[in-house]
Amino acid sequence: MERGRYGFLVVAVAVAVAPPVYAGKLERGFEALKVYDYFKARELFLASTKNAPAAAWYGLSVITGRHDNPFYQLDSSWAAIQRSHTAFSSLPEKGKLKIAELGVDSAAVAEQEAHVHALAWQLAETADDRSAYERFVERYPGSAQWPEAVQRRDRLAFQEARTGNTAAAYRDFLAKYPQADEVFEARSRMEEAVFREATSHGTLEEYEVFIRRYPESPYVHEAEDRQLAVMTPHGTPAEYAGFIQRYPASPNVPQAWRSIYGIYTKELTVANITRFLNDWPAYPYLNEVMEDLKVASLTLVPFRAEGKWGYLDDSGEPRIAAKYDFAEPFDHGQAQVGLNGLVGTVNKLGNPVVPIKYTNVLDYHDGYATVEANDREGAVDRSGNVAVPLEFAEVGEFEEDLAPAAKGEAYGYIDARGATVIPFLYERAMGFRNGLAVVAKDGMSGVVDLKGSVVVPFKYDWVEGFSYGALSRVRKDGKMGLIDRFGEVVLPVEHDHVGAFNSGLALVVDQGKCGYVDGKGSFTIPQRYEANGLTVNNGDFHHGLARVLSAGKMGMIDTAGVRVVPSLYNDIGVMANGAIPVRKKNKWGFVNGDGKVLIEPKYDQAWEMREGFARVQQDSLFGLVDSTGVERVKPLYLGLTDVEQGVSIATNAQGIGAIGTDGRIFVPMIYDEVKVSGPGLLLVSKAGHLAYARSKDGSFLWKEEGFATP
């Protein structure tokens, strides 16, 4: 009994006075870890996971997260630190303080997690493929690298979809990565792929099926346009008639009818219109034809009588009484007139079309004109009827059946009835061009399609738009580049300047050098030319030639980069009518498109050709030369304007008149003002009174009362 009790007491005392077994193991484990005894440390930590999981799993994560031992295994390290994190979170404060003495606290756990994240990120970056980033995203959602991993995964996944370039590939991408930055471009490309795959053979039947199957597709308009193109390869009236018969409900039927009309009336004469009506009595727009008949047979110009304005015909007879405060020239059968501070339009019979009740009426565009009253804007059609109610802060020009409009400070898009098609969400909205429009949001510019879907995300300071084709210039942080209609970067946004496309090429300027890129963003002409302050404005191609600077001298190259005008000149103008003004030292002359000298430099100034003639200046006097290099009018005048309708307005010491391109005086230089008013007519002014003179001989068509005849 004594022995038994003694033995029991010994054990009891030992238990009472000794520290907990797990604490000793942990301490020894961390001591072993300090001296890189990974085998011993691992054994001790494994033995402590039940009684001290927070610290033990932390230690095991450290071991398996180090490369210098055979236990390195990143997945095990991550699993261990997650267990440690969970166990640490459930520890009471006393327990946390205790293991803190071993160096295990919240900061240490977080640091170990970050260490595992960094190692995993290294592996993902080394692999640099979608699956590696996908795995990182799935396993390490709280890591600092997670957002970049998501971006890289999405980008690589999108590249895979781009490589496939099928509707299925883009659809799969959108389903898997709905939050990706590339989702806008993917959606646009998917719509394009659906259209491309459904109409791969370009047959009428394919377009018909596509329109029925995908009525909401942004490519429905293109399918309809292609139906018209397929059926009218030669653009003959018979082909357009066949289209109208086959697709009577197509939105392109009006275009087809008007194309037939346009073929007959390229020259708008009464005879041509009559012939058209005889051949096509079913033409649905007879009201327009009747207006055109009136326009074709009548020429009216504004005139003034007793302070009011009206219109007279080309015989000088008043046709619309002078009763308006102002009268603008006629355009497409209507003219703006004003009365008592309000504006409207009249036709050539003097009948009101747009009622004279608006504070502003803009020019017609695509059949509609913006009007304003009481600080609200709307739109009227060519008959003067209100199409868009006057309830908007702004209404822009209609393009492709939509117009930008504003409510308050928010912009959206409306149709020709004023119905909202694209919600009012934007700070700025431009007109549609080729199915796309530039909009701004949160200070950044992007692009939407006709359905309002974002095609180019809002990440640029400026987007030019797609008015001139499939590419748009963009600017961000002071640098410029090119994107395509899907938002794909064609030319990196890293250049000092990118010019507009002309002759298929765009100027690119960087650090004092310039070259030219094609529609694919490739430098077809390297950046081997000098660029100065004038290059941005003067370096674009015009008529197939561009001005370039080499060794401080200017020349010209063609689109192949071949120098056609040698770099011999101090300045060069723009080619027009086959002639180019050039300056050598302080004198100007002309060369042709091959660099051949037409006129040796001898003038103080020379301008570009207009209608085959250019102004030149010598000793403060002006004359005219033609595109062959012949001096047609010697420098005799104090001033000459560019030739317009065969006439140049001339000034001498006695006054202002008009001359022909051969130097003949049409109107003597005795007037205060002379300007071209219309075909064969000049509006002249003297002492505040007006008259119309015929440019061919200077005879008067009409004179205002009080106009002094010379």
Task: Quote the CA–CA distance of 691 and 705 in Å, as a whole number.
Answer: 9
Task: Quote the CA–CA distance of 683 and 678 in Å, as a whole number.
Answer: 9
Express each pLDDT in 132-152 by its tens digit.
Answer: 999 999 999 999 999 999 999
Beta-bridge mates of residue 602: none
Element (H, E) at 234: none
| DSSP designation for 624 | E
Express each pLDDT in 577-610 by its tens digit.
Answer: 999 999 999 999 999 999 999 999 999 999 999 9
Looking at CATH, the fold of the domain delimited by 22-126 is given as 1.25.40
For the chain, the structural domain boundaries read 22-126, 199-296
> Does residue 630 carry a pLDDT above 80?
yes
pLDDT in the model for residue 536: 86
> Nearest Cα to 268, choosing from 240, 248, 297, 241?
297
pLDDT in the model for residue 81: 94
> Does residue 468 carry a pLDDT above 90?
no
> Does residue 307 carry a pLDDT above 90?
yes
Beta strand 579-584 with 300-305 is unpaired
Mean pLDDT value of segment 103-107: 94
Express each pLDDT in 528-557 by its tens digit.
Answer: 999 998 888 889 999 999 999 999 999 999
The answer to whether 231 and 239 have CB atoms below 8 angstroms apart is yes
Express each pLDDT in 363-405 by its tens digit.
Answer: 998 889 999 999 999 999 988 999 999 999 999 999 989 999 9
> Nearest Cα to 692, choosing from 670, 709, 677?
677
Q: Band of the pLDDT at 697, cuts 50, 70, 90?
A: confident
Contacts of 288 (CB under 8 A, 6+ apart): 382
Residue 267 region, left (φ>0) first, then alpha (ψ -120 to 50), else beta? beta
Coil vs helix vs strand at 701: strand
Q: What is the dihedral of CA 444, 449, 452, 454, to 10 degrees?
A: -40
> Does residue 161 carry a pLDDT above 50?
yes
Task: Quote the CA–CA distance of 319 and 297 in Å, as a whole number.
Answer: 13
> Nearest Cα to 690, choosing from 302, 283, 223?
302
The answer to whether 53 and 84 have CB atoms below 8 angstroms apart is yes
pLDDT in the model for residue 546: 95
Contacts of 135 (CB under 8 A, 6+ apart): 124
Task: Quote the CA–CA distance of 334 and 376 in Å, as a whole number.
Answer: 23
Q: Band of the pLDDT at 267, cuts 50, 70, 90?
A: low
pTM here is: 0.73
> Does residue 305 carry a pLDDT above 80?
yes
Task: Quote the CA–CA distance of 260 and 252 in Å, as a whole number.
Answer: 13
Mean pLDDT value of segment 673-682: 91
Contacts of 32 (CB under 8 A, 6+ apart): 38, 40, 41, 44
Mean pLDDT value of segment 298-322: 94
Express each pLDDT in 185-202 by its tens digit.
Answer: 999 999 999 999 999 999
